């Protein structure tokens, strides 16, 4: 058996309660006593039993991190910085453990993992990535989160819109300015002279899809001159994988409606778009411009380098970690919106017409 707290207590000549106190801090313990206990812990190689502690305290050091898929760099980067920020360096820092759950973006899986984490008495939960905006799921999710938060475990929504919850619950929201980013990206394309701009949007019903598409269309509408009219014909919904971008682009080409630029749901999809266009003999950006979203690390190394919108994933992960551990107080109103930034690279250029007739 492993060394127990009681053995440490015996070894140090104090009561279990005292050992518990020096372990958990926040309680007055005489200097000498503390030292003796610490030495006992050290010499016995004591490691606290997490489950026992969690059972007694009704909360654990586990932090649930729900992502659509860690293999996707978007989530990998987010989860990575989150995990890192959860483990503050320095001696005796109360190390939180990140329990990473792939929801695949499926509502039922999301709920199932939340139940599982509740069962583990997770000390906090971070839900990342776009939310499925279906009334039934939203209310089920809201109810479940309300329970978790009411039990004292902070919940952070990261990269998704806030939920209608009582203000007193420990729930915070960290959003990305997807709308603004998409808006500025569309403006960039319009400024280059593009008028027929296609969208390979994300899955319908997802908050991220809605926000990016809204920002995009708002810019087109604002530009006027009927630029927004062809939206329906030039929009294809697809998944977030490269293959989805490839297939959606083929579908777009099949439709036959002309376009000179494509705004993809994200960078990964954009690589699929580029591949499909190229396979169709279309040059980028000479014939058609392509833009991504997120600014994943590979964006600068693709051919051509991808124009995109930077989403501050690392910052978001760190912030989410601080909020969920209570190291940073909940922001007033509970919502923080992180800025996005347009990154112009080689995959966008003026449309063919503009070049031939300057």
- Residues 25, 93: Cα–Cα separation, whole Å: 11
By CB under 8 A, is residue 121 in contact with its own copies? yes
Q: At 21, list the tokens.
A: 């106190």
Cβ closest to DNA, residue 8 vs residue 169: 8
What part of residues 199-218 is at the interface with its own copies (CB under 8 A)?
Answer: none
Interstrand relation of 289-291 and 261-264 (parallel, antiparallel or unpaired): parallel
What part of residues 213-252 is at the interface with its own copies (CB under 8 A)?
Answer: 242
DSSP letters of 82-148? HHHHHS--STT----EEEEEE-TT-HHHHHHHHHHHHHTT-SEEEEESPPB--HHHHHHHHHHHHHH
Cβ closest to its own copies, residue 28 vs residue 90: 90
Please choose which of DNA, its own copies, none residue 331 contacts, taking the beta carbon within 5 to 8 angstroms, the exact cut-off set by kind.
Answer: none
Taking the CA atoms of 253, 106, 315 and 81 in sequence, report the sign of the dihedral they define: negative
Taking the CA atoms of 217, 221, 224 and 229 in sequence, report the sign of the dihedral they define: positive
Cβ closest to its own copies, residue 100 vs residue 233: 100
Largest CA distance in the chain: 90
Q: How far is the CB of 64 from DNA (least distance, A)?
A: 19
Cβ closest to its own copies, residue 246 vs residue 259: 246
Segment holding 242, helix H or strand E: helix 242-255
Q: How far is the CB of 220 from its own copies (least distance, A)?
A: 28
DSSP letters of 58-79? T--SEEEEEES-TTSHHHHHHH
Please choose which of its own copies, DNA, none residue 14 contacts, taking the beta carbon within 5 to 8 angstroms, the exact cut-off set by kind.
Answer: DNA
- According to CB under 8 A, which one of 49, 138, 142, 218 is a site residue for its own copies? 49
Please choose which of DNA, its own copies, none residue 203 contacts, taking the beta carbon within 5 to 8 angstroms, the exact cut-off set by kind.
Answer: none
* Contact mark string toward its own copies, 86..115, x via CB under 8 A: -x-------x-xxxxxx---------x--x
The site for its own copies (CB under 8 A) is made up of 2, 47-55, 60-62, 65, 69-73, 75-77, 79-81, 83-84, 87, 95, 97-102, 112, 115-121, 151, 242, 268, 271, 274-275, 297-298, 300-304
């Amino acid at each position: 058996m492993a060394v127990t707290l009681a053995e440490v207590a015996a070894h140090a000549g104090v009561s279990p309660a005292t050992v518990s106190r020096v372990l958990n801090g926040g309680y007055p313990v005489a200097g000498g006593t503390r030292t003796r206990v610490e030495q006992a812990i050290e010499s016995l190689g004591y490691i606290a039993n997490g489950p026992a502690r969690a059972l007694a305290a009704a909360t654990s050091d586990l932090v649930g991190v729900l992502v659509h898929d860690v293999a996707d760099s978007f989530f990998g980067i987010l989860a990575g910085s989150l995990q890192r920020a959860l483990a503050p360096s320095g001696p005796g820092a109360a190390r939180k453990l990140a329990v990473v759950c792939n929801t695949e973006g499926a509502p039922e899986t999301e709920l199932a993992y939340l139940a599982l984490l509740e069962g583990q008495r997770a000390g906090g939960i971070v839900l990342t990535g776009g939310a499925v905006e279906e009334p039934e799921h939203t209310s089920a999710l809201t109810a479940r989160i309300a329970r978790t938060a009411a039990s004292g475990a902070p919940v952070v929504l990261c990269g998704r819109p806030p939920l209608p919850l009582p203000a007193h619950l420990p729930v915070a929201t960290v959003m990305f300015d997807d709308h603004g980013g998409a808006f500025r990206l569309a403006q960039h394309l319009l400024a280059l002279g593009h008028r027929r701009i296609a969208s390979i949007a994300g899955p319908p019903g997802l908050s991220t899809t809605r926000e990016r598409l809204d920002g995009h269309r708002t810019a087109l509408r604002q530009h006027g001159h009927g630029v927004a009219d062809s939206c329906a014909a030039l929009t294809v919904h697809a998944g977030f994988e490269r293959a989805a971008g490839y297939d959606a682009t083929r579908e777009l080409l099949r439709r036959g409606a002309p376009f000179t630029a494509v705004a993809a749901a994200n960078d990964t999809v954009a690589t699929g778009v580029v591949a499909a266009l190229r396979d169709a003999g279309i040059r980028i950006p000479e014939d058609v411009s392509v833009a991504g979203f997120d600014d994943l690390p590979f964006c600068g190394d693709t051919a051509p380098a991808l124009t995109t919108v930077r989403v501050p994933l690392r910052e978001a992960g760190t912030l989410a970690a601080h909020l969920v551990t209570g190291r940073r107080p909940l922001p007033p109103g509970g919502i923080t919106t992180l800025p996005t930034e347009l990154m112009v690279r080689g995959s966008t250029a003026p449309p063919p017409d503009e070049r031939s007739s300057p």
